[in-house]
Amino acid sequence: MLQATLLMAGLGAFCGLLLGAASRIFYVYEDPRIEEVLDNLAGANCGGCGYAGCAAAANAVVAGRAPANVCVIGGDETTARVAEVMGLKTSLSEPARAFNLCTGGHRATEHYIYEGINTCRAQNLLYGGKKVCSIGCLGFGDCVKACMFGALTLGPEGYPVVDKSKCVGCGACERACPKDFLKVRTLSDRFLHFNTVNDCLAPCSQTCPAQINIPLYITQIKKGDYEGAVHTIRERNPLLLACGRVCPHPCELNCRRGIEDEPVSINQLKRFVADYEMNSGKRMHVSVSPEKTGKRVAIVGGGPAGLTCAFFLKRLGHDITIFDSKPKLGGVLRYGIPEYRLPKKVLDWEIEGILRLGIETKTNHTFGKDYNFETLITDGYDAIFIGIGAWKDSPLRVEGEILFGCYTGIDFLSRLAKGDKIPMGKRAAVIGGGNTAIDCSRNLLRHGVEKVYIVYRRTKNEMPANRVEIEAAENEGVEFLFLSAPVSVKGDENGKVTHLEYEKMELGEPDASGRRRPVPVENSATLLPVDMVVTAIGQAPDLAFTQKVKDKLSELKTTRWNTLDVNPDTWQTSIPFIFSAGDAATGPSLVVEAIGGGRKAARSIHQYITGQEVACEPGELKKSAFIKGTLFDHVDGIETKQRAEMVELPAEERIKSFEEVDQTLTEEAAIKESERCLNCCRICYTADRPLINIQSSVN
């Protein structure tokens, strides 16, 4: 018995020694921080972070394989606690959310009938799926099954619907989708994104210079979600009140309904929701990135391009200062577009909303006098944006154009906007055929001029002015003298204008613009009795400052069209930290073109000051380019539905004041007009009458 006891004791001691030795040989150290990190995670074991539970996520954080914000449902507080355990610095982060790029669903045309396994991945293996659209939803809901938070459902239309209140931005749906149309992005990512060939884009959105998601905001109007429509527009365009009034809506030229019927009144619907916000008595929240970069950007010029660039850069977390030579911001919106088209109180309200984000302004600051590039660099600005517009009028270059009573278009409008007293005559001639000429003529009528002529050297069809503006001028009593070109301005012994001499023209061979060149008709000179002449034949940026830059700024290049030389993809000038957009870079163009350029310049500036490559995205759509197969020859299933008519003040009333001429749609009219929209995407659309899987023929 004693021997057995001693044997067992000896074996136990021996095993203890072996285990002690083994524990030292095979010892695994567990970092105590793993337990601390684990205690601070949400504990849901949801796997949304991509790891097999919270313990695996904690191990990854401590091992340096995952960031402090690994927990997708914990939020900033969880991130801060985990960072404290790890001894890391952290800042507030912008939340990411899933969004759906496809609106095809059951409307989508099919290649074939699929009867295989009910998963999107399996269907995608057969020629990319049954849908004709190469990026369209396949409809089996792999993304819904992958979402662990119930944030995704397959809607009645047959494509996924995201519940933003439940989405945590984990990315599981994006990884599960074989067509790559579900995206998890922050809001900053979304407004830094520009249209690419891989996006689901209706023709109207492809045409819009600001790249607004037009079908989405019209659908939101149809559902009564006016705030959602405002947010959709403002994601790409911060000047929706102004654009709703002055944009010539090129988007409507490629509206699919317009192929068989009148196009949807897209711009009137934009104005409706923009006015809805302004008249609601409250401003909708505009989010700004919580991550402050500490970078400073100087915006030279507070017009549409400068305001847009400042708006998006501020939302990206940068510090912005706008410099402008005039007393108030707005540029051409304030000093070039008359009150009856864009009331100043409306413009003031819109600009105030942009500045409320925390943008600093310095008005009455003239470049070259109060500051210059060198002082901006010395003051610590990391990048400079030039959005000075085109304020230099083109001269008429005829005898007598300096007589008393002669004015130039943009200067004339600017002086009136500032409240300058300009002596008005009884009969005036406006030279030119663009929007500036139309604005001058209608302004003259409202200032009591009895007879106003527009003298244009081509025909009405060649006039570059907006059709609606030409018709408005005609209705108000402006008389058009087509195929007429000024020869000289005559004056009396006191140097005051008495007549405009012009000669008749006829159209010859096309010139560089593609329009037929006007040539004089012999012995056709005519004297037109007038006491005012306003020349509005074009304008250009005033780039005199480029001749004064020295040292390292001497490489700022200009073009032969007297604009700043910029990279058309990035709006970067020949000096890497200087960018430009709007009329200063393109020459006189549309307000909405300046807005689109301002946003793209903001992306490039953001890339530059954060150390990224300044470049556009792969496959980014160029101006005037369209995704193949999206422009149709005809559209099936369309019925004629009356377009909403623009309500205007009667001509006899409006020429007596500067009251706004065009009126906003009523809610009833706006909803009715929104119902005319076909809710198009690349190929799909909602027909007025049911179609049986008929694909419209395409170019």
Count the domains in the chain: 5
List the CATH number of the domain containing 502.
3.50.50.60
Over residues 489-525, the pLDDT tens digits come to 999 999 999 999 999 999 988 887 777 889 999 999 9
> Which pTM does this prediction carry?
0.90
Residue 676 lies in a domain: no
Residue 270 lies in a domain: no
Could you tell me if 26 and 71 lie in one domain?
Answer: no
Could you tell me if 22 and 57 lie in one domain?
Answer: no
Residues 212/232, Cβ–Cβ less than 8 Å? yes
Could you tell me if 51 and 164 lie in one domain?
Answer: no
Could you tell me if 443 and 330 lie in one domain?
Answer: no
Could you tell me if 397 and 534 lie in one domain?
Answer: yes
| DSSP output for 329-340 | S-THHHHTS-TT
Residue 204 lies in a domain: no
* Residue 404 in tokens: 């008393």
Q: Choose one of 510, 540, 570: the last residue of a domain.
A: 540
Could you tell me if 466 and 481 lie in one domain?
Answer: yes
Residue 695 banded pLDDT, cuts 50, 70, 90: very low
Residues 160/147, Cβ–Cβ less than 8 Å? no
What is the span of the domain harbouring residue 144? 96-191
* Residue 115 in tokens: 């009867």
Place of tokens 């607004």: 212
How far apart, in whole angstroms, are the C-alpha atoms of residue 499 and residue 501?
Answer: 6
Residue 381 lies in a domain: yes
466 three-state secondary structure? coil
Residue 40 lies in a domain: yes
Give residue 697's pLDDT. 37
Residue 479 lies in a domain: yes
Could you tell me if 335 and 379 lie in one domain?
Answer: yes
Query: What single DSSP character describes residue 38?
Result: H
Could you tell me if 446 and 562 lie in one domain?
Answer: no
Which residues lie across from 519 on neighbouring strands? 506
Could you tell me if 449 and 371 lie in one domain?
Answer: no
Residues 662/646, Cβ–Cβ less than 8 Å? yes
Residue 153 lies in a domain: yes
Over residues 141-162, the pLDDT tens digits come to 999 999 988 999 999 999 999 9
How far apart, in whole angstroms, are the C-alpha atoms of residue 300 and residue 325?
Answer: 9
Over residues 503-512, the pLDDT tens digits come to 999 998 888 7
Instruction: Report the share of the chain in percent with pLDDT over 90.
Output: 70
List the CATH number of the domain containing 153.
3.30.70.20
266: nearest Cα among 636, 684, 676: 676
Could you tell me if 181 and 105 lie in one domain?
Answer: yes
Residue 243 lies in a domain: no
Could you tell me if 356 and 479 lie in one domain?
Answer: no
Q: Choose one of 583, 609, 635: the last residue of a domain.
A: 609
Over residues 534-548, the pLDDT tens digits come to 999 999 999 887 766
Could you tell me if 126 and 106 lie in one domain?
Answer: yes
Over residues 414-445, the pLDDT tens digits come to 999 999 999 999 999 999 999 999 999 999 99
Residue 493 burial (CB < 10 Å; 0-12/13-18/19+)? exposed
Average pLDDT, the chain: 90
Q: How are the residues of the chain apportioned to helix, strand and coil, as percentages rounded to the nearest 5?
A: 35, 15, 50
Over residues 221-243, the pLDDT tens digits come to 999 999 999 999 999 999 999 99
Q: Choose one of 609, 624, 655: the last residue of a domain.
A: 609
Residues 352/329, Cβ–Cβ less than 8 Å? no
